[in-house]
Amino acid sequence: MGYDAIGVGPYDLLSEESIIEQLKATKLPLISCNFYHQSGDLVFEPYKSYQMAGLDVAIIGITGTTSLQTSDFYITEGITELSQNVKSLRPTHDIIILLSTLRQARVVEVITNQIEGIDIVIGGDSRHGSINSLQFSDSLITQTAELGKSLGILEITWRGKPWKVDYQKQISRLKRSLNRVNRLLMKNKSSKSSAQKSDEKQKQLLDRKNQLITLIEETEKKKDNTQQRTDRSTFRSRSMVLDSRMVEDQEMRKLLQTAGF
């Protein structure tokens, strides 16, 4: 399998400079817009640009931050660098893809409130494992499990923005949530906990139930006019399990958690 781009993660900060230089010498397409030498120079290229299926595609890398410091490298928050790269690439590229090892919540915050123009985010938040493709603002976010356990496949039919929204899938997901809330309401009614606690929980569940009913009604209305449109980009994602037997090194996990990863 060939790689068009490989995102650099915060774990790579632990590498000695000689190891990083060896990696660069292999011509692997490593990218990061916020991984620096102590001299202030970028260690890797911030992005790669390709022509794919007649489309100009830019792939930008951003590395998650850590409290760990080394004498060779440092990582910035990266939002300024990412914004500058998206702004410069957007006029000349059809699709912009972000390879990210930021926390997923931070990615959502960035693409919904801070930076416009990112079409696809392929994440690397190991706490979440595999993530089915999710839409936030005009962007698509996805990732597969860590440690090489899965191969993620994302198939795109590109017709420009916006993405076609699968409202039926959203409605099905909301109805499943509503069913869970209804089951919890029934369970809470028969609970032996104190009356005060039971009443508080009942109110919270009823509020959630009403929210879900409203969301279902609103989504049903949206579906009527947009579901049949064919001028929007579509996607299909799936993952293939490669090796579920991979065992994590617990000592390394403790070390990295202590270091702030």
- Prediction pTM value: 0.71
Question: Residue 124: pLDDT above 80?
Answer: yes
Proportion of the chain above pLDDT 70, given as a percent: 86
Q: How far is CA 248 from CA 219, 240, 241, in A?
A: 41, 19, 16
Residue 78 · residue 33 · CB < 8 Å = yes
Position with higher pLDDT, 81 vs 145: 81
Expressed in angstroms, the distance from the first to the final Cα of the chain is 29
Residue 212 · residue 178 · CB < 8 Å = yes
Peptide bond into 91 cis (omega under 30): no
Question: Residue 149: pLDDT above 90?
Answer: no
Read off the pLDDT of each residue in 171-195 and give the average, rounded to a whole number: 81
Topology of domain 6-164+233-259, CATH: Purple Acid Phosphatase; chain A, domain 2 (3.60.21)
Proportion of the chain above pLDDT 90, given as a percent: 29
Element (H, E) at 208: helix 195-226
